[in-house]
Amino acid sequence: MVTKEALNEFLSTQFKQSRCTVEEINAERAVIRYRITEADLRPGGTVSGPVMFLVADCALYVAILGRIGIVPLAVTTNMNINFLRKPAADRDIIGECRLIKLGKLLAIGEVLVYSDGQEEPVAHATGTYAIPPKRD
């Protein structure tokens, strides 16, 4: 497994504007935190849908890189997301990813998205990444 520290180092240098940090990475799952700012909020005091999508996408990316090593060229090919409840405006967004399949060319995982500290998820996503072939 790639360490949490190595993944955070990678995210911060590659995605300077990213506010995602890895909280946990192991064979079972990846957990990331997204720090909410004013710019992420929608009228009515809720977090926008694209932010929840971003968290789901990032959690899946981290889960895959944790298993196969840091491969910057992995790209999302499909993401299906269901929005379940209104997220809280004053809490970070947490994404928890479990991989369903890790193949040679495609990896598939599911992500539960939460408002930090709340029990019920605000969104559920299933996504696919294409993994670039190894160059020897």
- Burial class from Cβ neighbours inside 10 Å (0-12, 13-18, 19+) for residue 93 reads buried
What is the four-CA torsion angle of 99, 102, 105, 111, rounded to 10 degrees?
Answer: 0
Applying the rule CB under 8 A, the residues between 106 and 125 that interact with a second copy are 106, 108, 110, 120-121, 124
Torsion region of 96: left, alpha or beta (phi above 0 gives left; psi -120 to 50 gives alpha) = beta
x-or-dash string of contact with a second copy, 51-90, rule CB under 8 A = x-xx--x--------------x--xxxxxxxxxxx-----
Place of tokens 């599911």: 110
Binding mask 1-20 for a second copy (x = CB under 8 A): -------------xx-x---
Footprint on this chain of a second copy (rule: CB under 8 A): 14-15, 17, 39, 42-44, 48-51, 53-54, 57, 72, 75-85, 100-101, 105-106, 108, 110, 120-121, 124, 126, 128
